[in-house]
Structure 1
Amino acid sequence: MNLKIAIAQINSLVGDLAGNADKIFQAAMRASACGADVVVTPELSIAGYPPEDLLLRPGFYKQTERQLADLAGRLAEFSDLHVLVGYPAAFDGNYFNAVSVLVNGVVKSTYFKRNLPNNMVFDEVRYFSAGTAACVFEVKGVKLGINICEDTWFPEAPAMAKAAGAEILLVPNGSPYHMGKQSQRLDVMRKNVSEQGMALVYCNLIGGQDELVFDGNSFALNAEGTIVSSLSHCAEDFALIEWNGHSFSSDVPNSPAQSQEAEIYQALVLGVKDYVRKNGFPGVLLGLSGGVDSALTLAIACDALGAEKVRAVMMPSPYTADISLTDSRDMVQRLGVRYDEISINPCFEAFNATLAQEFDGLKPDTTEENIQARIRGTILMAMSNKYGSIVLTTGNKSEMAVGYCTLYGDMAGGFAVIKDIAKTLVYKLCHYRNSLSDVIPERIITRPPSAELRPDQKDQDSLPEYEILDAIMRMYMEENQSREDIVAAGFTFEDVEKVTRLIKLNEYKRRQAPVGIRITHRAFGRDWRHPITSKFRD
C-alpha cells in the first residue's frame, strides 16, 4: 500500500497561535480528503517564524503548549493522519525548536532541532538549546525521519536520521528568500540528503515577516536527487505526493521556472502585502517624484494591495521639472490610484525666511536641499497620522549605501520597499513590470536620475555612474572584498575610495532608516552590523 504525503506551504503570522492552528487544521482537512497519511507544515508553523524575543517570554511557551494540545484534539477527527507541527518547546528547563507528529489526538513523536543557525539574519542560539537525538517514526511500514531547516545544511543530522532507519526525510523549513536561494537549497539538499540515499520532502514557509520574505518553493526529491514536485514561489500552496516504496510520484506539475526579476518582484509584492495586512494598516501613502524609484515603489504597492489602498502625493518644489509632473500624472492615471499635488513652495519660503538671519552671508548648499526633502517627509507623515495609512519610502540600496538620502526627509516613513534593491536592478525591475502591462511611462525609465533639489541637478554630479557604484558596493558590502581587490578587478582607486568611505560615513543614517524588504544575501540591517563609532580603516 502506497504512502501519501501532503506538503502544506502555509503563510503563518508570528504570535497568531490560534490563527496559525486554524491554517494547519484546514491543511489537514484538505489532506485527509485527498487520502493523505502524513502532512508536513513549515518550521514553527503554530508560532510563526521567526518569533525573535517572544521566545524569551515564558507565557509564549505556555500559550503555544495549550494551542498545540487543542490542535491535537481537533486533528483527531482525521483518523490515522500524521500531522507535523512546528513550535517552540519548553522541556526539562531548556527551550527547543521542535516538531511534533500529531495523530489521533496525541503526540506520537517529537524532534528537537540540532543545528541552530547563528549567522546572517538568524540568532537561534540566543533562544534555543540544540537537540541531540534522531527522530524516526513509522507509517504504513515506511520509516520517516525529521530534520528542521538548518539541520540539512550539514550532513550530520541527516546521517543520524539515516542511521536510525529513515527512508524519507521530512524537513519543515523557515528559509527566507534571497536571490539565488532556491538553486542553493537544491544543491545542498542533494549533497547532504540525496547522497545518503534518502528521499526528501522539503516544506518551506511563505509570507512577509518584517524585513524577511519567505518564498515557499517547497519541493520533494527522490533519493537520486530528481525533483518530483515543486510548489509555488511567494504563494500559499499544497501538493500531494505518493511513495511506492522506492520513489515518489506526483500528479501536480512542477512550478515553472521564472526570471530572477520575476522572482524578486513577486517577493517585493508579498513583502509589502503582508507588512501592511499583518500590521493592520488601512492603506499606504508615498511621495511620487516622477523618478524611477518612486515609480517602481508605486507599481509594487498597487500590485500588492490594489489601487484603492494606495495614495500617491506629488510635492513639487521650485526645481521640479515639468516633465516630472507630466509623467507622474500619466502613471497614476494608468494605475488608477488617488493622486494629489501639494506644492512645498510656501513651506520652503517660510523656512528660508525663518533661517535668513541665522544663515546670513552663507552660500546655499545641501542644507537648503535637505529642507525640501524634510518638508515632504513632514507632509507625508502628517497625512499618515491623520488617515492611518503607512508611508512607504522609495530609496534604493545604492542611495542608502552612500548616504544619498535625507534623514527625516525622504527616509521618513514606515516601510522601505526597495531598500535592498540596487539602482541598476531598479531599472531591470521596471522593465520587467512593464512587460506585464505598461504602467511606468518610458520617459521615467530613460531620463537621467535626479533628486531635483537644485537647478539642473543629476545624481551623477555627486556619485559615480550607478553601474560602477553598484558593482563596488556589491563587492565591498555584500562580498566582503577588500578595497585592494576591488581596484584589482578594474575599478579606479578614486571611485573605490569614494564609495567605501561613504558607506562607512553613512552608517548613522542607515541605523535610523525604516525596516525594509531583504532581497540579497546581505542587506543593510540585521545582516550588516558595522559600528557607527570606529577608527578602523580597511
Structure 2
Amino acid sequence: MNPTKKTLRIALAQHNYKLGDLVGNFGKIKESVAKARAQGAELVVFSECALSSYLPGDMIERPEFLARQLALLERVAALSDADLGIVLGFVAPNPAACGKRLQNAAALCHGGAVVGTVAKQLLPTYDIFDEARYFEPADTAQILDFKGVKLGLSICEDAWNLPGYSAQPGYAHDPIEALAEAGAEVLINIAASPFELGKPARRRGLLAEHAQRHALPLVFVNQVGGQDEIVFDGRSAAFDARGNTTSELADFKEDFATIDIPIEPADAPNMSAASPRPDAPQDQAEARKAIVMGLRDYMHKSGFRGAVLGLSGGIDSALCAALAAEALGPENILGVAMPTRYTREMSNTDAQALAKSLGIQFMSIPIEATFGAFLEQLAPAFEGYQEDVTEENMQARIRGTTLMALSNKFGKLVLVPGNKSEAAMGYSTLYGDMVGAISPIGDCFKTLVYAMSRGINADAGRELIPVRTIERAPSAELRPDQADQDSLPPYDILDAILARYLHAGESAHDLIAAGFDADMVHDVLKKLFRAEYKRFQAAPVIKITPRAFGRGRRYPLAASYEELLK
C-alpha cells in the first residue's frame, strides 16, 4: 500500500434499474460515472448485476443477451481512466471447463479496461432466490489492487454468513473473513438485497459487525426499486472500522453520495462486536413505502400508467385505492362499484366517498341484472340444490369479468385487493376477486391493513379512507348479513396463528402448547393447505415479509398434509 495515502474517495451509486434494459441501465451508470468524476471520486461503486438488473432469470441463458451485456461492460470500462475506477456487478461466463456456464460477478474497471473480476461465493437458494440454477460459485477469496489499496470485494450473500449470526449457518465459510485474512484494507459489498419488514435493521447490524470484527471500513451499495413482486429498498451505506455508520443513502429511491474512506493501518480486530439487531416490529409506514414503490415500478416497467380496481366499500379495496393513488397519481386510478342485491347502501356511499377524497375516477356498474341472468340460465341445472357458495362465487366472477373488460378497453391494469389473511384461508374466488395483474397488499395480514389505513389518515391529517370503512365489520356481501367472522376466526387471533406458523416456523403442536384453541389451529391449517391450488394461480404479490405467498413458496398442490396437523 502507498504509505502516503490516507483516504480513498468513493462514490456510492444507488439506482433503480429495469430488468433486461441493458442500454437504459448503461445510461444510468454512465451518468453516475460523470457525476462521480465531477465530485472528485477515485472509485464509483454500483450494485449487483447492475447492467442487467437482478435477477434476470432465464434471460441470461440466451447467448445473445449475455454477449450484449458483455459488450456494454467494455463500454463501462472505457468510461474509467487513470484517476477514476469503477466497480459494478455483471453476469460473467464461467472460465472453468465444468460447472454452470455463468457466474454472478463484479468487475473492477480502471484506466479504460477491466483490470480484475471476482465471482460470488455464496449462492442463495432459499425463499425467492434460485442462483444455483444459473451460477457457478467461486471457491476462493480474491483481493483486487486499486491505486495501491487492497479492495476486498464481495457480492450480497457473501456477507450473510457471519459466524454466530444464525444458529445453523447456511454455508461452511465466511467470505468476508477470508477477504480480511487475505489483507483487504477496504471491504466493499455490492448487493441486490430485497426488502422485508425488519430486515433493514438486521442488515445494518450485520454489516456493522463485519466492519467492527475486522477493524476495516466497509462500503455497501444496494439496488433500489421494484422488480415484479420484489422490492429493493436501497439504503446503501458506509461504515468505519469501529462499525459506526458514517453515511447512509435514502430508502426506496435513487440516491448518490461521495465519501472519504480512511485507509490506515487497522487496529486489532474486535471479536466481541455486538450481535446484529433483531427484527424490528412491523412498521405500517415502512410497509406503505415499500408497496407504493413496488406498485409504481411494476406498472411503469410494464408500460402502464393506470390501474382499475373494484371498490366494495370495504377496507382492503380502500387501502389498495389509496396506495395506488399515491403510487401512480389519482388521475390514473379508476375505482368501480359493482353492487348487487346484497350490497348495503353504506357500502356504495363509502366507496363513492373514498373515490372523492382520493380524487380518483369513479363509476358504478350494477351487476344485479347480470347475476339474475346467470341464475335464470343455470336454474334448470341447479334444480333440487340449495343455494350455497356457488351463487356467491358467481357474483365475484361477474365482477372480475367486468373489471377485465374495463382493463381491456381503457388500458389499465387490474389491481387485486386481497390481503394475506384471506389468501391464507382461501377466502377468495378464483377468476373473481383474484382477477388482476398485481396484488399490492397480498403480503399484509388484515391487522396490518387496518394499521396502514389508520396511518394514511393520520399522515394526511384528514379522512382519506372513511372511518366507517375502517371500523365496520368486514364482509364480502355475497349473501344476506354476511360477515368475515362467520367463516374465519377474529383477525387478531388468525393473524397471530398465521404469523407464528408461516413466519416463525412453529408447528401445530407449538401453537396449541402456546394456548391457541386446538380445533381452531387445525381448522386454520387445513384451510391453509387446501387453498394452495388457489394461490398457485394468483397474481404476483408485492413481497414485504420473509414468507410471502408466491414465488418463494413451494408447497405441492396434490398432497397429504395430515402429518403437519399433528
Matches within 5 A, 1:318-329: 318-329=341-352
Measured against aligned partners, the alpha-carbon deviations of 1:475-499 in whole angstroms (never above 9, x if no partner) come to 1222221111101111101110110
Q: Secondary structure at the match of 1:274?
A: helix
Query: Which one-letter code corresponds to 1:511 in the other structure?
Result: F
Q: Secondary structure at the match of 2:103?
A: strand
Residue 369 (1) aligns with residue 372 (2): no
From 518, 523, 548, give the equivalent of 1:498. 523
Give the Å deviation of 1:190: 3.2
Query: Quick one: distance in 2 between partners of 1:499 and 1:419?
Result: 18
Residue 44 (1) aligns with residue 49 (2): yes
Residue 399 (1) aligns with residue 415 (2): no
Residue 97 (1) aligns with residue 115 (2): no
Q: Paired residue for 1:459?
A: 484
Q: Does the Cα contact within 8 Å between 2:108 and 2:114 map onto a contact in 1?
A: yes
From 324, 332, 345, give the equivalent of 2:355. 332
Q: Does the Cα contact within 8 Å between 2:128 and 2:552 map onto a contact in 1?
A: yes
Measured against aligned partners, the alpha-carbon deviations of 1:146-166 in whole angstroms (never above 9, x if no partner) come to 000000112421122112221
Q: Paired residue for 2:276?
A: none
Query: Quick one: distance in 1 between partners of 2:308 and 2:112?
Result: 48
Residue 468 (1) aligns with residue 493 (2): yes
Give the Å deviation of 1:366: 0.8
Give the Å deviation of 1:140: 4.4
Say which is worse superposed, 396-405 or 160-169, in terms of deviation: 160-169
Query: Which one-letter code corresponds to 1:308 in the other structure?
Result: E
Q: 1:357 to 1:211 in 2, by over 3 A?
A: same
Say which is worse superposed, 423-432 or 56-65, in terms of deviation: 56-65
Q: Name stretches of at least 5 consecutive residues in structure 1 with no aligned partner.
A: 249-256
Q: Does the Cα contact within 8 Å between 1:223 and 1:247 map onto a contact in 2?
A: no
Q: Paired residue for 1:186?
A: 204
Q: Secondary structure at the match of 2:380?
A: coil
Query: Which one-letter code corresponds to 1:440 in the other structure?
Result: I
Measured against aligned partners, the alpha-carbon deviations of 1:372-418 in whole angstroms (never above 9, x if no partner) come to 00000000011111222110010000000001000000001111111
Q: Secondary structure at the match of 1:521?
A: coil
Q: Does the Cα contact within 8 Å between 2:225 and 2:297 map onto a contact in 1?
A: yes
Q: Secondary structure at the match of 1:393?
A: coil
Q: Paired residue for 1:253?
A: none
Query: Quick one: distance in 1 between partners of 2:264 and 2:466?
Result: 55
Query: Which one-letter code corresponds to 1:426 in the other structure?
Result: V
Q: Secondary structure at the match of 1:416?
A: coil
Residue 160 (1) aligns with residue 178 (2): yes
Query: Which one-letter code corresponds to 2:18 in the other structure?
Result: L
Measured against aligned partners, the alpha-carbon deviations of 1:191-217 in whole angstroms (never above 9, x if no partner) come to 444312221111110011111000111
Give the Å deviation of 1:65: 0.5
Say which is worse superposed, 20-29 or 84-93, in terms of deviation: 84-93
Q: Does the Cα contact within 8 Å between 2:313 and 2:469 map onto a contact in 1?
A: yes
Matches within 5 A, 1:303-314: 303-314=326-337
Give the Å deviation of 1:21: 0.8
Q: Does the Cα contact within 8 Å between 2:122 and 2:157 map onto a contact in 1?
A: yes
Q: Does the Cα contact within 8 Å between 1:178 and 1:521 map onto a contact in 2?
A: yes
Query: Which one-letter code corresponds to 2:52 in the other structure?
Result: A
Give the Å deviation of 1:287: 0.5
Query: Which one-letter code corresponds to 1:495 in the other structure?
Result: M
Q: Does the Cα contact within 8 Å between 1:154 and 1:192 map onto a contact in 2?
A: no
Give the Å deviation of 1:134: 2.6
From 122, 126, 130, give the equivalent of 2:137. 130
Measured against aligned partners, the alpha-carbon deviations of 1:296-337 in whole angstroms (never above 9, x if no partner) come to 100110110101111111111111111111111111111111
Q: Does the Cα contact within 8 Å between 1:134 and 1:157 map onto a contact in 2?
A: yes
Residue 350 (1) aligns with residue 377 (2): no
Give the Å deviation of 1:102: 1.5
Query: Which one-letter code corresponds to 1:291 in the other structure?
Result: G
Q: Paired residue for 2:68?
A: 63
State how many pairs are aligned.
528
Q: 1:228 to 1:136 in 2, by over 3 A?
A: same
Residue 410 (1) aligns with residue 433 (2): yes
Query: Which one-letter code corresponds to 1:43 in the other structure?
Result: E
Give the Å deviation of 1:104: 2.5
Give the Å deviation of 1:283: 1.0
Measured against aligned partners, the alpha-carbon deviations of 1:258-301 in whole angstroms (never above 9, x if no partner) come to 98211110000001000000000131110111000001100110
Q: Paired residue for 1:440?
A: 465
Say which is worse superposed, 11-20 or 258-267, in terms of deviation: 258-267
Query: Quick one: distance in 1 between partners of 2:380 and 2:291?
Result: 46
Residue 81 (1) aligns with residue 95 (2): no
Query: Quick one: distance in 2 between partners of 1:536 and 1:245?
Result: 57
Give the Å deviation of 1:103: 2.0
Measured against aligned partners, the alpha-carbon deviations of 1:233-271 in whole angstroms (never above 9, x if no partner) come to 1111111111233499xxxxxxxx998211110000001
Q: Does the Cα contact within 8 Å between 1:152 and 1:193 map onto a contact in 2?
A: no
Query: Quick one: distance in 1 between partners of 2:265 and 2:554?
Result: 45
Residue 262 (1) aligns with residue 285 (2): yes
Q: Secondary structure at the match of 1:357?
A: helix
Query: Quick one: distance in 2 between partners of 1:269 and 1:246?
Result: 43
What is the TM-score when the length of structure 1 is the normalising length?
A: 0.95
Q: 1:247 to 1:285 in 2, by over 3 A?
A: farther
Query: Quick one: distance in 2 between partners of 1:246 and 1:384?
Result: 60
Query: Quick one: distance in 2 between partners of 1:22 and 1:119?
Result: 32
Say which is worse superposed, 297-306 or 469-478, in terms of deviation: 469-478
Q: Alignment RMSD, CA only?
A: 1.7
Q: Paired residue for 1:72?
A: 77
Q: Secondary structure at the match of 1:96?
A: strand
Say which is worse superposed, 14-23 or 147-156, in terms of deviation: 147-156
Query: Quick one: distance in 1 between partners of 2:525 and 2:514?
Result: 15
Matches within 5 A, 1:170-249: 170-246=188-264
Query: Quick one: distance in 2 between partners of 1:70 and 1:220?
Result: 28
What is the TM-score when the length of structure 2 is the normalising length?
A: 0.91
Q: Secondary structure at the match of 2:374?
A: helix
Query: Quick one: distance in 2 between partners of 1:192 and 1:5?
Result: 19
Q: Secondary structure at the match of 1:111?
A: strand
Say which is worse superposed, 184-193 or 454-463, in terms of deviation: 184-193
Say which is worse superposed, 309-318 or 78-87, in terms of deviation: 78-87
Query: Which one-letter code corresponds to 1:131 in the other structure?
Result: A
Query: Which one-letter code corresponds to 1:378 in the other structure?
Result: T
Query: Quick one: distance in 2 between partners of 1:528 and 1:479?
Result: 15
Give the Å deviation of 1:12: 0.8
Q: Does the Cα contact within 8 Å between 2:198 and 2:282 map onto a contact in 1?
A: no
Query: Quick one: distance in 2 between partners of 1:70 and 1:245?
Result: 30
**Aligned residues with identical type, % of pairs:** 44
Q: Secondary structure at the match of 1:171?
A: strand
Say which is worse superposed, 182-191 or 102-111, in terms of deviation: 182-191
From 433, 451, 461, give the equivalent of 1:428. 451
Q: Does the Cα contact within 8 Å between 1:233 and 1:263 map onto a contact in 2?
A: no
Query: Quick one: distance in 1 between partners of 2:30 and 2:258?
Result: 16
Query: Quick one: distance in 1 between partners of 2:281 and 2:429?
Result: 36
Query: Quick one: distance in 1 between partners of 2:304 and 2:139?
Result: 43
Query: Quick one: distance in 2 between partners of 1:246 and 1:315?
Result: 68
